[in-house]
Chains A and B, each alone.
Chain A
């Protein structure tokens, strides 16, 4: 019986890293949007926070697109 420990290990590593990275990015994006919302409520603007947030969401969207690519191909 041959168990492919290497494959199992890489599934484990990739899943852990990808999940934490994606959830972290997304949460940062949400924090950024929250800052921007707050600033807007006070009459100012937080360009850096907003840009950062959109960058985070763009990376997440790219990950989703890659996920769809993996499913289709």
Chain B
């Protein structure tokens, strides 16, 4: 390892950080429905998913030979470009996590790569048609395919009508959900950990540390597997909450149908030659299961925000990647600046997340106040009398308060009016 330069070390660490964010961003795919229907306790669920991700990382030896699957021209790609792309992908992953939106980690990586490659070598470095076939069409097809399958399966389970009071029913759906969630976790470990191994190996190749076409060294496999497992265990609770409770309310049958549909779509698509994004398949399956139950609802406001995030993933990560590449082109100080920006950006996002933390204690709590308090929300909160408020004055604004002379001596003299809006 004596040939490893500082730049290479930075890229390897950044790739592992991306792997880590990939893990905690995608825990929801496997475990959101399992957690929200109560099939597994939150901590147990993420622990199981983490172990299966780690196992998955070691299962397959076929490391991705390209990191972008032909979207950008990777011949003669410079190590700085990979670094810039990773920065874009990580920051977008963290931002969508802060907002609790499930979005594809692979698309974030593609976006970062496209941005960095364009900044580095111009538009000719990008294969436009491959973007359409590998990103755009799968992004539209995945939720449709998984959603329709989950919807049909959900309808079927309610037709078959297992007796909900029977012990076998609850236990059965619980076991079924755990099995299909396990499959999703395992598939995730093999696919996404491989991706990071591919990135690190490519960086090693471009720096001449290992020969082109060689398998990744053992330390790469181990560290990539551990990083994704650690991320998974940390649990992207915000995204789990959106997927398990935010999009729709799931009963055990629906959770089972959704998870089975997601697992089937992921496996079928990767083996029939038309790869579909895991995140989009899982979100689509959850929505399909929500629509499949009579009286089931999908919260379209949350779904719309998620669709918007999907649409923004590629350009947003691309912009950050391009900006980062612009800086790294300036020389060593630019690379240092990007590293500093990455660390401080991540710190800011983490600090913001602490203002309203979501963890394994409240991940299935019913108070879904995750909508950002926009004008409408605030206005509604202001005019709706809070049930626990003791006095009328608490909801009245300043003007109203003066017109109602209510000299109730027991009331606190001047309850701060804006408190009602919280």
List chain B positions with a Cβ less than 8 A from chain A: 56, 59-60, 129, 132-133, 137, 141, 145-146, 148-150, 152-154, 156-157, 160-163, 166-169, 172-173, 176, 179-180, 183, 186-187, 190, 253, 256-257, 260-261, 263-265, 267-274, 276
Determine whether the beta carbon of B172 is less than 8 Å from that of A26: yes
B26 to chain A, nearest CB (A): 16
Q: Are B166 and A27 in contact (CB under 8 A)?
A: no
Question: Do A67 and B172 form a contact, CB below 8 Å, given A3-B133, A24-B153?
Answer: no
Chain B residue nearest in CB terms to A23 = B153
Q: Are B265 and A30 in contact (CB under 8 A)?
A: no
For the complex formed, measure the closest distance between the CB of A28 and the CB atoms of chain B, giving whole angstroms: 6
Do B60 and A72 touch across chains, with their CB atoms under 8 A apart?
A: yes
Give which listed residue, A19, A28, A33, A71, contacts B153 with CB less than 8 A.
Answer: A19
In whole Å, how far is A56's beta carbon from the nearest beta carbon of chain B?
10
B96 to nearest A CB, angstroms? 26
Contacts of B276 in A (CB 8 A): 11
Interface residues of A in 1-43 (CB under 8 A from B): 1-4, 7-8, 10-12, 14-16, 18-20, 22-24, 26-31, 33-34, 36-38
Contact indicator B268/A30 (Cβ below 8 Å): no
Please state if B152 and A20 are interface contacts (CB–CB under 8 Å): yes
List 10 A-B pairs, minimum CB-CB distance, nearest first.
Answer: A33-B168, A34-B166, A1-B129, A23-B153, A30-B172, A19-B149, A7-B274, A27-B160, A19-B261, A30-B162
Name the contact of B264 in the complex, choosing from A4, A8, A19, A38 (C-beta under 8 A): A19
Q: Which residues of B contact A37 (CB under 8 A)?
A: 166-168
User: Interface majority SS on B: helix, strand, loop or mixed?
Assistant: helix
In the complex, A22→B153 CA distance in Å?
Answer: 9
Residue of A nearest to B189 (CB): A71
How near does chain B come to A29, taking the closest CB pair, in angstroms?
7
A15 contacts B172, C-beta separation under 8 Å: no
Between A and B, 15 residue pairs with Cβ closer than 8 Å are: A2-B133, A3-B137, A7-B274, A15-B261, A22-B260, A22-B264, A26-B260, A30-B168, A30-B172, A31-B163, A67-B267, A68-B183, A68-B186, A70-B267, A70-B270
Given contacts A16-B148, A19-B152, A72-B59, contact A34 B169 (CB under 8 A): yes
- Residue of B133, B154, B156, B272 touching A11 (CB-CB under 8 A): B272
How far apart are the CA atoms of A33 and B208 in the complex, in Å? Answer: 61
Cα A38 to Cα B166 in complex, Å, equals 8
How far does the Cβ of A11 sit from chain B's closest Cβ, in whole Å? 5
- Give bound CA distance, A2 to B260, whole Å: 31
Task: Name the A residues within 8 Å of B173 (CB-CB).
Answer: 30
Q: Which residue, of B59, B60, B168, B179, has the highest number of chain A Cβ atoms within 10 A?
A: B168
Given contacts A24-B160, A30-B168, A68-B186, 14 further A-B contacts (CB under 8 A): A4-B273, A11-B265, A15-B269, A19-B153, A20-B152, A23-B157, A23-B256, A27-B156, A29-B172, A30-B169, A37-B167, A60-B179, A67-B183, A72-B190
> Measured between alpha carbons, how far is A40 from B280 in the docked complex, in Å?
44
